[in-house]
Copies of this chain bind each other. A is one copy, B any other.
Amino acid sequence: MNPRKILVAQGGGPTAVINQSLVGVVLEARRHRGVESVYGARHGVRGIVNEDLVDLTQETSHNLELVAATPAAALGSTRDKPDLAYCQEIFKVLQAHEIGQFYYIGGNDSSDTVRIVSEQAQAAHYALRCIHIPKTIDNDLVGSDHTPGFPSAARFVAQSFAGANLDNAALPGVYVGVVMGRHAGFLTAASALGKKFADDGPHLIYLPERTFDVDQFLLDVKATYARFGRCVIAVSEGIHDASGTPILSKLAGDLERDAHGNVQLSGTGALADLLCEEIKNKLGIKRVRGDTFGYLQRSFLGCVSDVDQREAREVGEKAVQWAMWGDRDGSVAIKRAGYYAADYELLPLSAVAGKTRTMEDEFIAPSGTDVTDAFRLYLRPLLGSGMPDAFRLRPNAVAKVLKR
């Protein structure tokens, strides 16, 4: 099957490498005989229903390569989560423009959109190949070893905590860093990869996969502070109590929800501030500082994993190959091969769409506040080459003269 026109779009939160996948699709599609036009939709599915399309066939290969290395979604993204009626609108536009292949780069909400559009086309007996290309810093797609975008964000988090640990060692106190991740703690857990020496932070890691108890948290912090004279803590924005209520909700009553019904956990420093107040007030520690890593962890220009870049490019290329030469729709997944190589597979859309992966138990230490060596082995090769390293002076104490 060789369609004359194909369409690609980007959905959900931007990442450091989502443009690699876009460019992988465009360059691979342009080399296929019979493809006349490669269209891009501006701002995801919203751009499709509004017929806000651009012709990527007119873009130079050189500029496409430069865009590939640029973070965030070059076509623009959207938070829209299409229902059936919305997907029917999408399909209507694809038909009108005689689109033969539809590629949507996004997370599990986006994969569900692809699934519905695929079903629409089949019901209408319209020849449309629909491929979901994975992307999310949360690493929460089922069926994949990991998702493009996660390794680069994980690298940012690891480098941030490596630096925050050095800062905290220089001016001791308690440091709380809040990391993105509503249901999956992978990105918060990546903070552990910033540790080098045995007494380095993060000393405590709180994941949404475990219940967060404020009293136990304070006991943990107190014990760590007593042991090291300081304490660096990584906290997922999604931590919740036993009933599933976000810890942040206990602070702020009126929380914003997006179109998916999700509470807004990002874009506010409230959780870090709340936890710092608890530590100051209940433990009497004076120097307590909190940071919320916010949008920097997914958008910072200049922190990227080269492994992530390569894989994001390849899932785009593989998507086109499966669409051109295969006979079914699907979602591209990354498989781990050896220590470490990546391979790819096309999963049924129904196996991925709308499902959420969380951290496996084998990755979380029994204490619930640390990761396992299995997780370190899992994540380290994904962070890529050239990870900066931290060094310290060796202690050679000078004998006291006055206070002997």
Partner pick for A293 among B53, B63, B296, CB 8 A cutoff: B296
Instruction: Report the bound CA distance from A159 to B299 in whole Å.
Output: 9
Least distance between A254 CB and chain B CB atoms (Å)? 10
A339, CB-defined interface residue at 8 Å: no
A402 to B299, CA, bound (A): 35
Pick out which of these stretches binds chain B: A54-62, A139-147, A209-217, A359-367: A54-62
- Please, could you name 18 A-B residue pairs with CB atoms under 8 Å apart, sorted by A? A51-B401, A54-B396, A54-B398, A55-B396, A55-B397, A67-B392, A70-B166, A70-B390, A70-B391, A72-B163, A72-B169, A74-B393, A79-B171, A167-B299, A266-B289, A268-B290, A291-B292, A292-B292
Interface check A379, CB cutoff 8 A: no
Is A125 in the interface zone, CB < 8 Å from B? no
Residue interface bits A156-188, CB-to-B below 8 A is 1, else 0: 000110111011011100010000000000000
A272: interface (CB < 8 Å): yes
> Given A66-B391, A159-B300, A397-B53, are A295 and B164 also a contact pair (CB < 8 Å)?
yes
A-B CB proximity, top 6 nearest:
A269-B269, A267-B289, A72-B166, A291-B294, A163-B299, A66-B391
- Cα A14 to Cα B171 in complex, Å, equals 8
- Chain A residues in contact with chain B, CB under 8 A? 10, 13-14, 37, 39-40, 43, 50-51, 53-56, 58-59, 63, 66-67, 69-79, 92-93, 96-97, 159-160, 162-164, 166-167, 169-171, 175, 194, 266-270, 272-273, 276, 288-296, 298-303, 387-398, 400-403
- The complex places the Cα of A58 from the Cα of B93 at a distance, in Å, of 73
Q: Please give the count of copies of this chain that the complex contains.
A: 2
